[in-house]
Chains A and B, each alone.
Chain A
């Protein structure tokens, strides 16, 4: 590959405008294109992730890439930022062909990326993560004070006053995401690629990010944005590109399109996230949380979950809404047995399970789909199939030995149920797209046939079609098997889907409870969030 494109790099100077025309046909010759991919293709072994894609990034504007899970969005972005090299095609920067051997190459030319999967070193502090590899040198080695100052300034800009010296592993996932964003911002780049930067952020944090993006735009920075939160993405985007099965299928400017256009081009049909399943009576109380408290791991005086009580009946679906730091993750992790409680009780179908281990709770039918799939959800060294069957080994064990045939049954059922796009059960987990990895985590826990399922941000990173499928699956489980569901979300729109009841959490307590007939504004107001226009 190297030998082929080097001669190119010498002579070919393509006019930016010509490049634009040649990509998308007609319509926007006037726009300045800063970066473009020409006929880019990428295969991973026998999997062809991208097939001859042309893609343009417009100067000082936001170009949003839409597409299903596994459509090839991240792959394209990794190519544009030098993480991986294309199998074919070329990249033009300001009309000049360029080759990035690595991310450092790309960064030097002003292109940086916020990855879909966080790439922070958990043991290092926020400051050290932000300046990793680009340490500021002072007269006596690294100028830590200056680094800390800049970190603080960045965090302020992002409205997230985190102490620069906090180890990243002590931060919530959403805060980690903000650190990741801050790191990308700290590099003065002219092109910033954001691969699902908001998947763990709540509405107000997203607003802050959008303010920053507008600010960057006004300074002439070009943004590539990827998100499965379509509505949200529409508010910031200037150009929309849809990718489908590795092929670019549609392009339009913001003014010409609406949500329906995106969904139609992404998946071919419009659909909604469903409504609360009805037509049956709710059963007995399946899960009852009584006066539960969880102490803050760092500040012992404070409680992240503060004397909280909640009951969920068999067949009932409860949505847990709240800002980052409201204590949702801690609540769910405590109920599942991951973190100890500092008071209170958890009852499963009347039985006190507070002192049981995670494994025993799973056995009794209480399972958690964790929020952070890389850290808590997936075993990277195992295949897709082994990951999917990990929580339900007992179901295919007979006597001492596991049965390969029955395991295959469990795995194939899960793959079909949650629609995982994979090469097969033996594929490496790392070869799946981000959203498909998320589906593996969900599928794994649902394969245990739980009585009560807790899902912490289950829709993180999955496309609108898959989201609807997962919700449908939960709704069906609730209606036909009396499954009790609690799912948390930071996207208000998701509250108003299958949930019978919406519980808003704030500072470790329940701030409000609503029925399904509530409006978005009321939910957001109750969470203490400024209502976004």
Chain B
């Protein structure tokens, strides 16, 4: 009765390689993109081009990180593109000076005040989103879709559809320095990229090493269980939308500084790019899974891909098709990864033998790593 047949041998080596490719897919995709475009165009692999592309990525990256927080809680924020646009317009408006008719004075707030007020606007939009979603139980998709329209509308109203071009400020008014936020370079790297790096590091730390991070992950994983474990689920939900709004406002500041102008239609459909970045980075739209590293990679993939397509002169129609294909592919791989998790054991230990035919002599493996916890209460 002992078995003569060999158990079907699971190829560990191949299996692990597949797994590695799957888990590092955003990274490998990025490498592939860089290699392919470098071969296709001599200007792609140059420091200058990388710096230019990075400053584009900075915008998507900032939006994606805010979006990541929201998606981790199981929500979605469609309003970030509009928030970005509104933030630019608010900054432009403040830079032109605020006139108080009543007193007949015009105030020119310094740039740091402009930055804070603009972030405040982003936070306010996020707070409205968050309160609608957490306390009034409006589905996130609908609430943020509403704010997408409202914020865009407000931006258009404020400017009458026109663009603020003069964001440089004047030394005599004490409001110069706006161009420093995105246009200038620090140690040769665009400031916008530094801003992204800073936001990314703070978010990374917050997610991995603070109670807030745990709360975010658990809210997205199972809000009911999280709440019963003492997680302030509603506050967490409001917080992530506020943070997403702030990220969008920062992105708006960086973008209008890069362009030295602020238009009310800036950032249209950027929310979709941000979501794409998060998804390519391996986050699950159902919440609870994802990380900053992946999301940054996702933003770089999108940015480097679209800039590469521009550089090699692919028509913008084809660019759209390519971007779409990459997104679908990413989601496909996500569902393979998470679908597989439920069926397989997640960590395949590389040290275990290449094949483990369950033979009669081989009784150990299950007990070997499971401590003696397998036999609760056998001995008193």
* A470 CB, min distance to chain B CBs, angstroms: 9
Contacts of B345 in A (CB 8 A): 44-47, 423, 427-428, 431
| Contacts A245-B366, A269-B378, A390-B218; A87 near B358 (Cβ below 8 A) | yes
Q: Is the CB–CB distance between B370 and A391 below 8 Å? A: no
Contacts of A46 in B (CB 8 A): 345, 347-349, 352, 356, 365, 369
List residues 46-67 of chain A with CB under 8 A from any CB of chain B. 46-52, 54
Contacts of A271 in B (CB 8 A): 377, 380
Contacts of A51 in B (CB 8 A): 358, 362-363, 366
Instruction: Report how far A42 CA is from B240 CA in the complex, Å.
Output: 42
Q: Tell me, yes or no, whether A463 is within 8 Å of chain B by CB.
A: yes
* B346 CB, min distance to chain A CBs, angstroms: 5
Q: Tell me, yes or no, whether B153 is within 8 Å of chain A by CB.
A: no
* B343 CB, min distance to chain A CBs, angstroms: 7
Chain B binding surface, main DSSP class: loop
| Contacts A376-B225, A381-B287, A390-B226; A468 near B347 (Cβ below 8 A) | no
Q: Is the CB–CB distance between B287 and A41 below 8 Å? A: no
Q: Is the CB–CB distance between B369 and A424 below 8 Å? A: yes
Instruction: Report how far A247 CA is from B358 CA in the complex, Å.
Output: 11
Q: Most chain-B Cβ atoms within 10 A of its Cβ — which of A88, A389, A415?
A: A88
Q: Tell me, yes or no, whether B220 is within 8 Å of chain A by CB.
A: yes
| Contacts A41-B358, A245-B374; A400 near B221 (Cβ below 8 A) | no
Contacts of A386 in B (CB 8 A): 214, 217-218
Instruction: Report how far A246 CA is from B5 CA in the complex, Å.
Output: 19
Minimal Cβ-Cβ distance residue in A for B222: A379
Q: Is the CB–CB distance between B377 and A391 below 8 Å? A: no
Q: Is the CB–CB distance between A88 and B374 below 8 Å? A: no
Q: Tell me, yes or no, whether A416 is within 8 Å of chain B by CB.
A: yes
| Contacts A45-B344, A469-B377; A402 near B228 (Cβ below 8 A) | no
Contacts of B356 in A (CB 8 A): 43, 46, 48
Instruction: Report how far A416 CA is from B229 CA in the complex, Å.
Output: 20
Instruction: Report how far A428 CA is from B337 CA in the complex, Å.
Output: 14
Q: Tell me, yes or no, whether A6 is within 8 Å of chain B by CB.
A: no
Q: Is the CB–CB distance between A52 and B3 below 8 Å? A: yes
* B223 CB, min distance to chain A CBs, angstroms: 9
Instruction: Report how far A420 CA is from B345 CA in the complex, Å.
Output: 17
Q: Tell me, yes or no, whether A377 is within 8 Å of chain B by CB.
A: yes
Q: Tell me, yes or no, whether A480 is within 8 Å of chain B by CB.
A: no
Q: Is the CB–CB distance between A421 and B370 below 8 Å? A: yes
Q: Tell me, yes or no, whether A336 is within 8 Å of chain B by CB.
A: yes
Q: Is the CB–CB distance between B227 and A358 below 8 Å? A: yes
Contacts of B289 in A (CB 8 A): 381
Q: Which of A84, A390, A401 contacts B231 (CB 8 A)?
A: A390
Q: Is the CB–CB distance between A397 and B232 below 8 Å? A: no
| Contacts A45-B344, A370-B228, A402-B214; A381 near B220 (Cβ below 8 A) | yes
Contacts of A405 in B (CB 8 A): none
Minimal Cβ-Cβ distance residue in A for B1: A22
Q: Is the CB–CB distance between A397 and B211 below 8 Å? A: yes
Q: Tell me, yes or no, whether A474 is within 8 Å of chain B by CB.
A: no
Instruction: Report how far A378 CA is from B228 CA in the complex, Å.
Output: 10
Q: Is the CB–CB distance between A87 and B8 below 8 Å? A: yes
Q: Is the CB–CB distance between B358 and A52 below 8 Å? A: yes
Q: Which of A39, A48, A50, A363 contacts B365 (CB 8 A)?
A: A48
Contacts of B3 in A (CB 8 A): 39, 52, 88-89
| Contacts A245-B374, A379-B288, A422-B370; A359 near B210 (Cβ below 8 A) | no
Contacts of A389 in B (CB 8 A): 214
Write the A345-359 contact mask toward B (1 if CB under 8 angstroms, else 0).
000000000000111
List residues 215-259 of chain B with CB under 8 A from any CB of chain A. 217-218, 220-222, 224-232
Q: Tell me, yes or no, whether A277 is within 8 Å of chain B by CB.
A: no
Instruction: Report how far A368 CA is from B227 CA in the complex, Å.
Output: 11
Q: Most chain-B Cβ atoms within 10 A of its Cβ — which of A45, A415, A420?
A: A45
Report the interface size for chain A: residues with CB under 8 A from the other chain. 78
* A466 CB, min distance to chain B CBs, angstroms: 5
Q: Tell me, yes or no, whether B46 is within 8 Å of chain A by CB.
A: no
Q: Which of A357, A382, A466 contacts B221 (CB 8 A)?
A: A382
Q: Is the CB–CB distance between A358 and B347 below 8 Å? A: no
Q: Tell me, yes or no, whether B24 is within 8 Å of chain A by CB.
A: no
Instruction: Report how far A357 CA is from B210 CA in the complex, Å.
Output: 21
Q: Tell me, yes or no, whether B11 is within 8 Å of chain A by CB.
A: no
Q: Tell me, yes or no, whether A419 is within 8 Å of chain B by CB.
A: yes
Q: Is the CB–CB distance between B1 and A422 below 8 Å? A: no
Q: Is the CB–CB distance between A358 and B230 below 8 Å? A: yes
Q: Is the CB–CB distance between B376 and A463 below 8 Å? A: yes
Q: Tell me, yes or no, whether B18 is within 8 Å of chain A by CB.
A: no
List residues 416-446 of chain A with CB under 8 A from any CB of chain B. 416, 419-424, 426-428, 430-431, 444-445
Instruction: Report how far A424 CA is from B368 CA in the complex, Å.
Output: 12
Q: Is the CB–CB distance between A431 and B346 below 8 Å? A: yes
Instruction: Report how far A463 CA is from B5 CA in the complex, Å.
Output: 34
Q: Which of B342, B363, B376 contacts A68 (CB 8 A)?
A: B376
| Contacts A48-B356, A357-B232, A381-B289; A422 near B373 (Cβ below 8 A) | yes
Contacts of B376 in A (CB 8 A): 68-69, 267, 419, 421, 463, 465-466, 469
| Contacts A87-B8, A382-B217, A401-B205; A428 near B370 (Cβ below 8 A) | no
Instruction: Report how far A45 CA is from B340 CA in the complex, Å.
Output: 12
Q: Tell me, yes or no, whether A11 is within 8 Å of chain B by CB.
A: no
List residues 72-130 of chain B with CB under 8 A from any CB of chain A. none
Q: Tell me, yes or no, whether B137 is within 8 Å of chain A by CB.
A: no
Instruction: Report how far A386 CA is from B3 CA in the complex, Å.
Output: 40
Q: Tell me, yes or no, whether A70 is within 8 Å of chain B by CB.
A: yes
Q: Which of A363, A378, A402, A416 contacts B230 (CB 8 A)?
A: A363
Contacts of A1 in B (CB 8 A): 8
Q: Is the CB–CB distance between B1 and A39 below 8 Å? A: yes
Q: Most chain-A Cβ atoms within 10 A of its Cβ — which of B211, B232, B289, B352?
A: B211
Instruction: Report how far A469 CA is from B349 CA in the complex, Å.
Output: 31
Contacts of A89 in B (CB 8 A): 3
Write the A437-475 contact mask toward B (1 if CB under 8 angstroms, else 0).
000000011001000000000000001011011000000
Contacts of B347 in A (CB 8 A): 45-46, 423, 426-427
Q: Is the CB–CB distance between A41 and B352 below 8 Å? A: no
Q: Most chain-B Cβ atoms within 10 A of its Cβ — which of A49, A424, A448?
A: A424
Instruction: Report how far A87 CA is from B6 CA in the complex, Å.
Output: 10
Q: Tell me, yes or no, whether B360 is within 8 Å of chain A by CB.
A: yes
Q: Is the CB–CB distance between B228 and A45 below 8 Å? A: no
Q: Is the CB–CB distance between B229 and A391 below 8 Å? A: yes
Write the A365-404 contact mask toward B (1 if CB under 8 angstroms, else 0).
0001010000111111110001001110110010011100
Instruction: Report how far A334 CA is from B188 CA in the complex, Å.
Output: 60
* B255 CB, min distance to chain A CBs, angstroms: 30
Q: Most chain-A Cβ atoms within 10 A of its Cβ — which of B7, B284, B360?
A: B7
New A-B pairs, 18, CB < 8 Å, besides A48-B356, A381-B222 = A4-B5, A22-B1, A45-B347, A47-B365, A69-B376, A84-B343, A268-B378, A338-B228, A368-B228, A380-B222, A386-B218, A393-B214, A402-B210, A426-B347, A428-B341, A430-B341, A448-B230, A465-B375
Give 30 A-B contacts (CB < 8 Å), ordered by A residue: A46-B352, A51-B363, A52-B358, A84-B343, A88-B8, A271-B380, A359-B232, A370-B225, A370-B228, A375-B224, A378-B225, A379-B288, A380-B288, A381-B220, A381-B221, A382-B221, A382-B288, A386-B218, A390-B214, A390-B231, A393-B211, A394-B211, A421-B374, A421-B376, A423-B369, A424-B369, A427-B347, A431-B345, A444-B229, A445-B229
Spell out A's residues near B (CB within 8 Å): 1, 4, 22, 39, 41, 43-52, 54, 68-70, 84, 87-89, 245-247, 267-269, 271, 336, 338, 357-359, 362-363, 368, 370, 375-382, 386, 389-391, 393-394, 397, 400-402, 415-416, 419-424, 426-428, 430-431, 444-445, 448, 463, 465-466, 468-469
Spell out B's residues near A (CB within 8 Å): 1, 3, 5, 7-8, 205, 209-211, 214, 217-218, 220-222, 224-232, 284, 287-289, 341-349, 352, 356-360, 362-363, 365-367, 369-370, 373-380
**Pairs A-B, 7 closest by C-beta atoms:** A45-B345, A381-B288, A419-B376, A465-B377, A379-B221, A381-B221, A41-B358
